[in-house]
């Protein structure tokens, strides 16, 4: 025998780690949902995302369709190197969220923008419920889609 097990059906792995627990933890990819008023600067948006997302990797930014082309959002997305996904109020209203707002519902037609957008864009569970940081509402969900536009 040559030292390679017969019938194992597996090839030896090059560079395999004998103890997977010794690997550094993989950072979570996040879908970031945003709710905000018109005219908010990219600096405020970036700061709010960084505060809420922590060490997570921003994979996509999502918001309501009427805010998706705001310069602050577009510039923040460019900063993180991610796309901006837009959803209609009707799409967001169909998503169950833990913290709906009657005030937001009467203003834009859905009780949630940040949480619903994060959930729609990521496809995974909500990781951070909506938080307001410097006038920007931010929520995060685990990004489980191969392509955030799926």
| 81-120 per-position pLDDT tens digit | 999 999 999 999 999 999 999 999 999 999 999 999 999 9
Percent of the chain with pLDDT over 70: 79
Q: Which residues contact 130 (CB under 8 A, 6 or more apart)?
A: 33, 35, 99, 112, 114, 115, 137, 138, 139
Task: Identify the pLDDT of residue 13.
Answer: 46
Task: Identify the pLDDT of residue 28.
Answer: 86
Domains along the chain with CATH numbers: 29-143 (3.30.420.180)
Which positions of the chain have pLDDT values less than 70?
Answer: 1-26, 145-150
Q: Answer whether 63's CB lies under 8 Å from 91's CB.
A: no
């Amino acid at each position: 025998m040559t030292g390679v097990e017969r019938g194992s059906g597996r090839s030896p792995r090059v560079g395999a780690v004998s103890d997977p627990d010794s690997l550094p933890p993989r950072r979570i990819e996040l879908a970031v949902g945003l709710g905000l008023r018109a005219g908010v600067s990219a600096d405020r948006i970036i700061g709010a995302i960084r505060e809420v997302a922590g060490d997570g990797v921003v994979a996509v930014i999502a918001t309501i369709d009427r805010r998706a082309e705001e310069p602050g959002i577009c510039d923040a997305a460019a900063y993180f190197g991610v796309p901006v996904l837009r959803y209609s109020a009707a799409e967001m209203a169909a998503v169950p969220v833990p913290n709906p707002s009657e005030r937001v519902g009467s203003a834009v037609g859905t009780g949630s923008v940040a949480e619903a957008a994060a959930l729609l864009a990521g496809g995974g569970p909500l990781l951070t419920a909506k938080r307001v940081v410097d006038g920007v509402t931010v929520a995060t969900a685990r990004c489980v889609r191969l392509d955030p536009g799926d």
